[in-house]
Structure formats: structure tokens, C-alpha cells
Amino acid sequence: MKSPAHRTRDIERQAGYLKPEHCAPPPPRTGSDTMWFIRDGCGIVCGVITWILVFYAEFVVVFVMLLPAKNVAYSLINGALFNGLAFLALASHARAMCTDPGAVPKGNATKEFIESLQLKPGQVVYKCPKCCSIKPDRAHHCSVCKRCIKKMDHHCPWVNNCVGENNQKYFVLFTMYIALISFHALIMVAFHFVFCFEEDWSKCSSFSPPATVILLILLCFEGLLFLIFTAVMFGTQVHSICTDETGIEQLKKEERRWAKKSKWMNMKVVFGHPFSIAWLSPFATPDHGKADVYQYIV
């Protein structure tokens, strides 16, 4: 008895069964295709909100807490650390948002392309009926991106993109750096409250005491909320990478059909070979290898 997952993927090997005549030829690539950006209203709003919240935290940290501080070394060290982490967080967000997550070429389920694969006995290909593409193993269709995404983990509105094979590193770095600046901001808020209680409130900030309290409370609420959210997301992403199982695969409980690798090797597949400081850089593009993901043995 076959499971539902088997039934949905049990497709004949003949090109004719895939009905390639129903698919138009893939559109030619133009210069505008070089930059990946999803035109989704909700995702764009969430992305803008993310940047606004980071800039709000920057404003409160710099102008409310650090500049009025009497200890210059304290202000310089914490300012450099917070601004550096915030810059890396925004850079990671931009890379996660504007990097092709691993979209399958749209409309390539043509008879010519299927025959060019020269399928051997035991090899199959799957066609996505929504985007008319030859669907690689472990790829799933995203209704927001309107494309099949290789190793799709989930669609995240906060980065206005899918998290997939090509941008998972940047998404993990984004969650890590947001968690770090949230934790750092909470520590500075705690120190600032202690300082203001011991000193005159009018001297601990260039703003009025009521405005200072409101700004600090809002930053504390923002930092606590995003620390919990991003720390949990960071942990689930690292666990997903180590087990080599995407969020969708875990949710659907799909049968494992790919080779099992060590946790360290799975990390290097996402962050690059070999281990280096580039793992922490959103500007370093990892090497994912050149495996043929369109075919596999059943």
C-alpha cells in the first residue's frame, strides 16, 4: 500500500505522460532577471518594518543611552559592537531577501528538455503543474514566489522570500545577528535604568525623563520579543541543517530519499567549504557543490 506522498510522486518516466505540449517554452532571461525580488505586498511591508525596528533600536541605543554616558570607553566599545552587529544583521537580511533561494527554471518541462535528460532505467522526473517546471527532488512549490524552490524550508514574510538552498546561510545569519543585538540592547537598557535610578534622570539622557522611560520601555519590549523569536528560529534552522531535513519535509513527514551525511558536513554544505570566518559573513557566497538535483534513483 503506497502512502499519499508516494502516490503524488508516482509519475511515469515517459516524457509524453508529463504532457510537455501543455507547457510554453521557458521565457528568455533578461538583465532584469539578475536581481531576485518578490513583489509581495505583505512581504515588502514586513521587510520595511524590520529595517525600521533596527533603526529605532540604533536611535535609542546611540542617542538615548550611549552619547549621554559619562564613560567614553563604555560608549565607544558598546557603540562599535552594537552598530557592527546591526550592520551585519541588515546586510544578512538584504542578502536573504535579494538572493535567488534556488528557484527551478520556469516552464522547462518541454519535450525537448525532458528527452535531453536521457533518463536511465530507475530514474524519474516530476513536473510541477503550477509552474510547468521539471521538479527536482526535495523541491516544493511556493504559492507566494510562484516558483518551485530547491530544498525549500519555508516562506518568510520578514525577508520577503523563501528560505531555500541558496539563501539559507543568510537567513540563519540574519536570525543570529538580530538575536545578538536584541540581547545586547536589553543588557544596555538594564545598565541604563540602574544608572538613571542612581543619578538624576535629567542628567542620564538628553531627552526628558518621561520620553526616556517610554523610549527605553519600547526598546526593551522590542528586544525581548525579537530575542525570543529569532533565537528560536535560529535554533530550529541549525537543527534543520544538522539533520538535513527542511521544515516542509519535517511537517509533511516525507520519506528520506537522499544520502545521509554527518552534521558537520551538512553545515559545510550550507555555509561553505571549508570552515572559515566567512561562515559569519553575509558577503561571502558559499559553495553548494554541483550535484545533479534533477534526477535520483528510486
Catalytic residues: 156
Exposed/middle/buried for 107, CB within 10 Å: 0-12, 13-18, 19+?
A: middle
Residues 6+ apart with CB under 8 A from 246: 138, 151, 152, 153, 154, 240
Tell me the one-letter amino acid at 223.
G
- Rounded to a whole number of angstroms, the distance between the first and last alpha carbons of the chain is 17
Where do we find the cell 519590549? Answer: 221
Q: What angle separates helix 72-98 from helix 41-59, to the nearest 10 degrees?
A: 170
Q: Degrees (nearest 5) of the Cα angle 133, 31, 294? A: 25
